[in-house]
Structures are given as C-alpha cells and as structure tokens.
A and B are shown apart, each in its own frame.
Chain A
Amino acid sequence: MSYEAKIVEALQKSDGKLSTIELAKETGLPKTTLIKYLTSFKISGKADFEDVGTSRLWHLVAPTKVKPSAKKKELDEMLKKLIEDTNLLGCAVVDREGSILSAFLPHNVNQENSAL
C-alpha cells in the first residue's frame, strides 16, 4: 500500500479524530514523511484540520466540482469588488450541490479541489 493510501485509509477510519502524532502511530509512517503528505493534502484541498483545544485533528475533504456558468463573468466582477472592498483573502460562490460557480482564492489553494 502506498504512503498516500495508508494516510487516506487512516483518515477515513478515524472520522476526523486523529492528530498528526496519532496519524503517525496509526500509519506507521516516519513523522517527516507524514508531514510532507499532510501538507500536500492540505494545499490541494484533499484534507484539512480542525482546531480542537490545543490539537489539530485531520479529516478528508470531499472533492468540489467547478461548474461552468453563464453568469461567471458577472459573478467574477462582483467577487473581485468584494475582495477589494473588504480586504478578504479570497471568496467563492457555490451552488446547492457544492459546485463552484466563481472563485478568487489565495495562490496556494487549488480551486478545483478546494474545501469550501
């Protein structure tokens, strides 16, 4: 089983309740390897963590679809203005199915796989 598969399996089983150290124990992976993978997962939107007390617990994030929209240009303009007016780091418009219609995200967040 690949390192990536081991981490995904452990995250699926844990239901979002494992810290980094617990994940290292669960998967048996070296700590440095695990941190590299978790960071990649986080950047690509495949996994995220939640602050619980002093710990950060990791969970998988379901992929989000990007849906073509006839009003994309109009939405893009509105979001751009919103970011300029409010100094937000990023923002997006998502429909009821969870698909992205328009998004302005920080440079290190992949739009197609982002957790929103």
Chain B
Amino acid sequence: MKESNIPSEIKSFFESSSGQTLLIKGKPGTGKTIFAFEVLKEVCDERNGLYFSTRVTPEKLYAFFPWIRNIIPEKNIVNATPNRMMKVFGSDFEAFKRPFDFDSALAFFKMLYEDAEEMDNPVVVIDSWDVVLNYVNLKDQGATLTQSLCELCREVGTHLILVSETADQTPLDFIVDGVVKLSDVEIRGEAMGGQVYSEQLSSRTARLIELNKLRGVKRGQKSYVFTLHNGRFRSFPPYTVQTTPRLEPIPDIDKNHRSTGIKDLDNIIGGLKRGGLTLFEIEYGVGLRYIPFLDQIAMNLSSNNIGVVRIRSAGVSSTLENKIPEAMGVYQFKPKTWITWRLEKLFPTSREYLDFFEVIKKESSEILELSLMESRKEYAEFLEQKGESHPSVAEFIGLDTFEILYGADNTLKLLDEAVSRAIESNEVLIAVVKRGMKSVEMITKIADAHIIFKDIVGSLFIYGVQPRTGLYNVSSDEQGIHLTPVV
C-alpha cells in the first residue's frame, strides 16, 4: 500500500463522503498551502484541482511546488482580485442588504469555473478565505456566505478546502465539516525531579497539525508532528518497532570516525568518533523504541569485523537481546557476579525486587561493594576474551542499569574506565542514559556526541545537543532506520 503523507484521518474524511468542506487554520508560515496541496495530491483526480489564490501566481506556484502541476493545470489557478469578487457579489451589496444565499454561491462557483478546465470531480482550494471576505468588505455576513458555499458543495458533491490565517475559533468552525490547525511548537527537554536541567534552557521547533474536527471520522490521535522537508508536507505516524534488517556494511567515514550504519545519522553527526564517547539519552515515553537504532549501529560495526560488547539497559528483555546472534560478533554481557541477576530471580515482581534492593542498598553497602569489584573484574575478562576474536572491541553500555545497582558515583567511575579503554584502543564507545538518572548531567559533559531520543505525540524523534542539530523523525523500513528533518 502506498504510504500517505497526510494523517490517515484526513484521507478517510474526504473518502467518507462527497462534498466535504475542510477549514485549514494557522498563522502565516505554518504550512497551510503545502498541506492543502498534499491533500489535493491524495484525494483529487488528475487535473481536477482548482486553486483560487489571493497571493500566488502560477509561475511561483509551479516553481515552489512542481509536483502539483499534474493536479492543478495552469488554467485552474484562478487569481482572486477585488474586481473579480465585486463582479460576483456587486460593489453595492451592502446598500441592498443582499443576503448571501444559494444564488450567491452559484455565482461564486461560476466565476471560479469560468476559465478553468472542464472537471468531473473538482476539488477546490480557496487560499485564503479571510482575504476573499476582506475584498468584499464582509464582516458579519462572512459566515452566511461560507454557509452557502458549503451547502452548494454538499449539494453538488464537490470537496472544498478553505485556508484561513485566523488560528482562533470562529463561526466558520461550526459551519464546515472539518477543521485542522497548523502551528509551530517549542519542544524542550524534560526537567529532572524538580531540578533545572540545563538542556531545558534550549529548545527545538516542531510543527504540529491538530485534527480539531472531522465529522464522521474516528480520530486515531488528535495531533501529529509534520515536516515541510523538500517542499512537501509529511506527517509522522506513531513509530512502530521493526526487526533490524541485515544491511550492506558502511565503511569508516575517515580515519577518526566510524560509520553509525545509519546514513542519515552519519550525515547529521559525522559518524562515531573513535576514542570518544557517543551518548544516547532516552527521555520519558520513548520506552524501548530506541533499541533498533542501537542494533543497527552494532550490526554495522560487527559487519566491519569490530566486536561489540553490550551491557543491557534496564528493562531490555532477553527477547530483545537475543535478536542479534552472537555469531554476528555482538555479545551481551550477563555477569554471573552481578547482584541484580542473582536477586531478581527470587522476586515475582519488579516492585518487590526494587523494594528489597532499596533496603540492602542502605543496610548492606559492603555486599554491593564486593559485587561491584567482582563485576568489574568479570567484565574486564569478558572484554579481553572477545578482543581475541576481533581486531578491536566497541562497548555499548546501558548506564542506567549501573546507576540503579551501584549509584551515581560508581557509574561515573565505570564510565571513566570505559572512556580510558576507548581512548587506548582508539575505538568507539556508546553509552545509554535515561532521563531521571542522577549522573546524567555529569555524563553529558564528557560526551563527544550527545543525542536525545524524544517521544512527541507517539512518534519518535532525535536531536543533537552536541553537535547541536534540529529535530529529526525516526522511522524504519526494510532499508533500516531513516531520519527526516522537521523543517
């Protein structure tokens, strides 16, 4: 099935009945016109689009949006001028106190179709309706005229899209069958337990489409993030985890940087720095959806004959771990000495386990110290063993697990050791931290690259703090992970 660029609810809305009327609202620059064209592309037959414009010439339109030419032929781009409007409604309508009835709507559509190509199923876009109403100096009667137009469209089965610069609710919202609102929103990092997190001071801009009203259509979700990348509207559906495919290995970018195995990510951050720390920070709500991202990185490294040793993050089940077989050179470190692995089997629920753990952390710190020493030794031996089969070994460390077990200070010590090993071996080091960890602030200061995973209305996004980048949507298919900029 062909992938749709607009929310599926919008497509269902136009397919559910003929003569639907949709109001697209939003401030200037929020993407209303591009969205209207994208709707035309999805729901309109070839050469059956008509664009009544108050501001764009055909030359400009085709220059900005060449892909719309097959939908809206040149004759169907109608310039809205005050003279044209006066011809339809009369310049003296106020003196006559003429009501705007069905006849007015007929006259309006006659004017639209006057020089247009013949169309069996026209879809009409009026951009913008505010300006049209302004041309004929309509105040209170704007709603009456809109009502008449909508009635005519329902009567003759013609879809009508009205574009409005007014983002607030107006009487038009009650007249039309559907209302969507486009806006820019500031996306900020999350606070940590009441503390001001420095990243919160910076922000990224996302674009949001809100489905305020779609008569007769069940909304899967009320809003979607979208992009206008390459002059096209594209909304982002909820991210679904897919199995990481086997891909052609991507070689090192240069002598100092290994490829991430994700071309888009290489383009954004310039690859993984050898002898440096690449940090992935996972915000609340992301869950385990970041795992395939790390899997693709691990698989690319192993495809280049680099051993990969992973210490799992909290909550990553063995099912997920086992997706990449050890034969591929990606090894999960499951320490026998690690106290958590010993204890968790004794408790039926994670709550009981954590409660017990809190108690022993307070009362038996020497047990933890002993366990920590044993674990570090065991981990070092594991690394050495795997290093024998590979020219070098890259480490992927879930630091959240470590902080839960041994506290923030010991986590920083472990990371410091890992960084030293990475520098010594000139190999990449990848760490995962979760928002809410006490050691996050300090860890971010030693990272060469710092990427944040964020959930926005069900879709998965990343952005770089170091290097600073904009917001990117994460999607995946049989070609692996893709990143699309939100612009």
**Cβ of A82 < 8 Å from any Cβ of B?**
no
Known: A32-B122, A35-B106, A39-B106. A20 touches B113 (CB 8 A): no
**Cβ of A36 < 8 Å from any Cβ of B?**
yes
What is the distance, in angstroms, from B14's C-beta to the closest C-beta of chain A? 16
What is the distance, in angstroms, from A33's C-beta to the closest C-beta of chain B? 5
What is the distance, in angstroms, from A57's C-beta to the closest C-beta of chain B? 11
Contact B119 A56 (CB under 8 A): no
What residue in chain B is nearest A37 (Cβ atoms)? B110
- Residue in A36, A49, A107, A108 whose CB lies within 8 Å of B114: A36
What is the distance, in angstroms, from B88's C-beta to the closest C-beta of chain A? 10
| Set of chain A residues within 8 Å of B110, measured between Cβ atoms | 35-36, 39-40
- Residue in B90, B96, B102, B158 whose CB lies within 8 Å of A31: B158
Contact A36 B156 (CB under 8 A): no
**Cβ of B478 < 8 Å from any Cβ of A?**
no
**Cβ of B360 < 8 Å from any Cβ of A?**
no
Question: Of residues 70 to 98 in A, which have CB atoms within 8 Å of B's CB atoms?
Answer: 87, 89
What is the distance, in angstroms, from A2's C-beta to the closest C-beta of chain B? 14
Interface size on B, residues (CB 8 A): 24
| Set of chain B residues within 8 Å of A33, measured between Cβ atoms | 113, 118
Known: A42-B103, A42-B106. A106 touches B120 (CB 8 A): no
Contact B106 A32 (CB under 8 A): no
**Cβ of B116 < 8 Å from any Cβ of A?**
yes
Contact B109 A89 (CB under 8 A): no
Contact B118 A89 (CB under 8 A): no
**Cβ of A43 < 8 Å from any Cβ of B?**
yes
**CA A52 to CA B97, docked complex, whole Å:** 26
**Cβ of B246 < 8 Å from any Cβ of A?**
no
Contact B98 A30 (CB under 8 A): no
What residue in chain B is nearest A109 (Cβ atoms)? B103
| Set of chain A residues within 8 Å of B96, measured between Cβ atoms | 89, 106-107
**Cβ of A62 < 8 Å from any Cβ of B?**
no
Contact A55 B155 (CB under 8 A): yes
What residue in chain B is nearest A49 (Cβ atoms)? B102
* Interface flags, B105-129, vs A, CB<8A=1, else 0: 0110110011011111110000000
Known: A21-B156, A35-B156, A39-B110. A106 touches B98 (CB 8 A): yes
**CA A55 to CA B106, docked complex, whole Å:** 14
Contact A56 B98 (CB under 8 A): no
| Set of chain B residues within 8 Å of A87, measured between Cβ atoms | 97
Question: Of residues 121 to 157 in B, which have CB atoms within 8 Å of A's CB atoms?
Answer: 121-122, 155-157
What residue in chain B is nearest A107 (Cβ atoms)? B90
Interface size on A, residues (CB 8 A): 23
**CA A30 to CA B50, docked complex, whole Å:** 14
- Residue in A20, A31, A36 whose CB lies within 8 Å of B121: A31
**CA A34 to CA B158, docked complex, whole Å:** 13
**Cβ of A14 < 8 Å from any Cβ of B?**
no
What residue in chain B is nearest A38 (Cβ atoms)? B106
What is the distance, in angstroms, from B327's C-beta to the closest C-beta of chain A? 64
What residue in chain B is nearest A21 (Cβ atoms)? B157
**Cβ of A64 < 8 Å from any Cβ of B?**
no
What residue in chain A is nearest B19 (Cβ atoms)? A21
What residue in chain A is nearest B102 (Cβ atoms)? A56
Contact A32 B107 (CB under 8 A): no
| Set of chain B residues within 8 Å of A21, measured between Cβ atoms | 155-157
**Cβ of A113 < 8 Å from any Cβ of B?**
no
What residue in chain B is nearest A30 (Cβ atoms)? B118
| Set of chain B residues within 8 Å of A107, measured between Cβ atoms | 90, 92, 96
What is the distance, in angstroms, from A38's C-beta to the closest C-beta of chain B? 7
Question: Of residues 3 to 61 in A, which have CB atoms within 8 Å of B's CB atoms?
Answer: 19-21, 24, 30-33, 35-36, 38-40, 42-43, 49, 55-56
| Set of chain A residues within 8 Å of B103, measured between Cβ atoms | 42-43, 108
What is the distance, in angstroms, from A71's C-beta to the closest C-beta of chain B? 27
Contact A35 B113 (CB under 8 A): yes
Contact A32 B119 (CB under 8 A): yes
- Residue in A20, A32, A43, A49 whose CB lies within 8 Å of B116: A32
Contact A30 B120 (CB under 8 A): yes
27 interchain pairs (CB within 8 A)? A19-B155, A21-B155, A21-B157, A24-B156, A30-B118, A30-B119, A31-B119, A31-B121, A31-B122, A31-B156, A31-B157, A31-B158, A32-B117, A32-B118, A32-B119, A33-B118, A35-B106, A35-B109, A36-B114, A39-B107, A39-B109, A55-B155, A56-B102, A56-B155, A87-B97, A89-B96, A106-B98
Interface residue ranges, A against B (CB under 8 Å) = 19-21, 24, 30-33, 35-36, 38-40, 42-43, 49, 55-56, 87, 89, 106-108
* A31-B157, A55-B155, A108-B107 given; 17 more Cβ-contact pairs under 8 Å: A19-B155, A21-B155, A21-B156, A21-B157, A30-B118, A30-B119, A30-B120, A31-B156, A33-B113, A33-B118, A35-B109, A35-B110, A39-B110, A42-B103, A107-B90, A108-B90, A108-B103
Q: Which 10 pairs show the lowest CB-CB distances between chains A and B?
A: A30-B118, A39-B110, A32-B113, A39-B106, A32-B119, A20-B156, A30-B120, A36-B110, A36-B113, A33-B118
